[in-house]
Amino acid sequence: MRTIKLFFVCMFFCTFAAFGFQNTQLDYNALYKIKDEGLNNSQVMDIAWNLTDRIGPRLTGSEGLKNAYDWTSGQFKEWGLSNVKVDPWGDFGRGWDVRKSYVAMTVPYYQAIIGIPKAWTPGTNGLISGEAVYVDAQSEADLAKFKGNLKGKIVLMPTSVEAKTTFEADARRFTDEQLEGMTSERVSNSNSVFSQRRISDFRRAAQLRNAAYQMFKDEGVAMILNTTRGGGQGTFFTSNGSRNDPEALPEMEVAPEHYNRIVRLLSKGEKVMVEADTKTEFHESDEKGYNVLAEIPGQDPQLKDEVVMLGAHLDSWFAGTGATDNAAGSAVMMEAIRILKESGVPLRRTVRVALWSGEEQGLYGSRNYVQSEFMKNGQPNDNHAKLSAYYNMDNGTGAIRGIYLQGNEALRPIFKEWFSAFEDMGANTVTIRNTGGTDHQAFDGIGLPGFQFIQDPIDYGTRTHHTNMDLYERLQGADLRKNAIIVATMVMQTANMDEKLPRKPKVFETSRRR
């Protein structure tokens, strides 16, 4: 009770001090405290270390992600946050973990292959050895030629993936020119890059792959090898497999150089033998997916039912430890709310952090959350009117350089003012553009203000995104520290405005149009 009295007294002064005439004005007192906590007592790299090195890969449904639920919710409690929940969002399906991953070429000579079982495939459960066959099929007619000859074989199919020598740096930061270029509106939406031609090529390829896969099952193939996307020099990318195929074959994704060597040898008529010993485990005891939620209750009696959210997806791929995708974003959001709590800055609205899961399989955690939290029977519920904004982070380890307005011009003067505090950190680009591909879309899709930040790409596209090399080393500590400060500031400012952030008009039409 004493706390509450003190709180009212404080609120009276704070409100006047910090939110004067312009209710979007920067609160320099709070900013000072946030920067002080975020620069001098930063825990962001310690949080990221726990999520990566210590907890490891966090594929949705895996043991790693369950450990991450426990550890992150434990941290939130330790930091004194309220309403900490590991909140089920629905059925995800079977969990899956890799228990052993070994593959090697044994003929024409021995050399281990860098690789890992494809997601949700079974293992070989013991050492197998088989002749490699290059199923060089461009059509279903080509496939037929291989019938009757694939039992017990290790099969590879044509790939356009190469591992070229890189005369450009893996990692880069945006130049001023590139940031300036982002401030113009894009005329076409992002789908337009997929021409009809490309779509039909894609469909044909998928059809051929499916037909091949069925034949491989019928024939009794021992294992499929794959390589997806570039990278190279020891880096390989992983991709989604079918999660619900009880007859799936053992399948591995391997380094492009090792894959293409086998293809070249077979194409020139050399015999290649491959051995493998892989083990995977499915988990069926709890097939639910969860989000981890925690709050700092709002301090203004008039506004504490309103909410500002920040979040990031906690789930990851499994060949690395999901350092930049998305321990980086999770650690920044955790650190941001820790800073807000620890620095004791005034927060009129409730601040809620969410760590999503199932993002990599289709934004499941956030999409299910917004449906149950903000919607009822396809229409906005009361909570829908009470959310001011959702800030998301899922663009890797790079420094924040600005923010995407997601088409909402009304936000420009507000965000411009807030970002003016971060000009010396190189973060002051406000672009009208949309960005997609992650959890803010779940909010934007139902007419709620959801945002992603512009971040320096670093080596996200070349080295880390969904790769075996998305490891702790790839985290840029200085960037993550800055990012937490910027996010904390944005959240604090949003929480303390007199009004909620302006929304786009005709939300549902807009959402359909996207």
Strands 223-226 and 154-156: parallel
Considering only CA atoms, give the Rg of the chain. 25
By CB under 8 A, residue 101 contacts its own copies: yes
Look-up of token digits 């090697």: 104
Cα–Cα distance between 339 and 33 in angstroms, integer?
Answer: 9
By CB under 8 A, residue 99 contacts its own copies: yes
Q: Which is nearer to its own copies, 299 or 483 (CB)?
A: 483
CB of 57 to its own copies, least distance (A): 7
* Greatest C-alpha distance within the chain: 84
Instruction: Tell me the window of 265-273, 308-316, 377-385, 504-512 that interacts with its own copies (CB under 8 A).
Output: 265-273
Instruction: Tell me the window of 10-18, 49-57, 191-199, 207-215 that interacts with its own copies (CB under 8 A).
Output: 49-57
CB of 234 to its own copies, least distance (A): 2
By CB under 8 A, residue 473 contacts its own copies: yes
Judged by CB under 8 A, which of 85, 94, 172, 304 binds its own copies?
A: 172
Cα–Cα distance between 157 and 138 in angstroms, integer?
Answer: 9
Strands (E), 269-306: 273-283, 288-296
CB of 476 to its own copies, least distance (A): 7
Give the DSSP H/E element, type plus range, for residue 340: helix 328-343
CA angle 428/431/435 to nearest 5° reads 120
Q: CB within 8 A of 424, min separation 6: which ones?
A: none
Q: Which is nearer to its own copies, 236 or 451 (CB)?
A: 236
By CB under 8 A, residue 384 contacts its own copies: no
Instruction: Tell me the window of 25-33, 252-260, 345-353, 440-448 that interacts with its own copies (CB under 8 A).
Output: 252-260
Structural contact between residues 117 and 251, judged by C-beta atoms closer than 8 angstroms: yes
By CB under 8 A, residue 1 contacts its own copies: no
Judged by CB under 8 A, which of 3, 40, 160, 165 binds its own copies?
A: 165
By CB under 8 A, residue 163 contacts its own copies: yes
Of 230, 219, 107, the C-alpha closest to 159 is: 230
CB of 456 to its own copies, least distance (A): 11
Structural contact between residues 232 and 465, judged by C-beta atoms closer than 8 angstroms: no
Any idea how long the chain is? 514
Residues 319-378 that bind its own copies (CB under 8 A): 321
By CB under 8 A, residue 474 contacts its own copies: yes
CB of 192 to its own copies, least distance (A): 32
Please count the other Cβ atoms lying within 10 Å of the Cβ belonging to residue 449.
26
Structural contact between residues 44 and 480, judged by C-beta atoms closer than 8 angstroms: yes
Cα–Cα distance between 197 and 201 in angstroms, integer?
Answer: 6
- Amino acid residing at 135: V
Q: Which is nearer to its own copies, 64 or 445 (CB)?
A: 64
By CB under 8 A, residue 167 contacts its own copies: yes
Please count the other Cβ atoms lying within 10 Å of the Cβ belonging to residue 471.
18
Judged by CB under 8 A, which of 10, 13, 54, 203 binds its own copies?
A: 54
Cα–Cα distance between 361 and 488 in angstroms, integer?
Answer: 28
Residues 109-138 that bind its own copies (CB under 8 A): 109-112, 114, 116
CB of 31 to its own copies, least distance (A): 29
Judged by CB under 8 A, which of 146, 236, 290, 443 binds its own copies?
A: 236
Cα–Cα distance between 366 and 511 in angstroms, integer?
Answer: 16
Judged by CB under 8 A, which of 463, 481, 500, 504 binds its own copies?
A: 463
Q: Which is nearer to its own copies, 256 or 298 (CB)?
A: 256
Q: Which residues bind its own copies (CB under 8 A)?
A: 49, 53-57, 63-64, 97-102, 104, 108-112, 114, 116, 162-173, 232-236, 255-257, 260-261, 264-265, 268, 270, 277, 321, 458-459, 463, 468-469, 471-474, 476
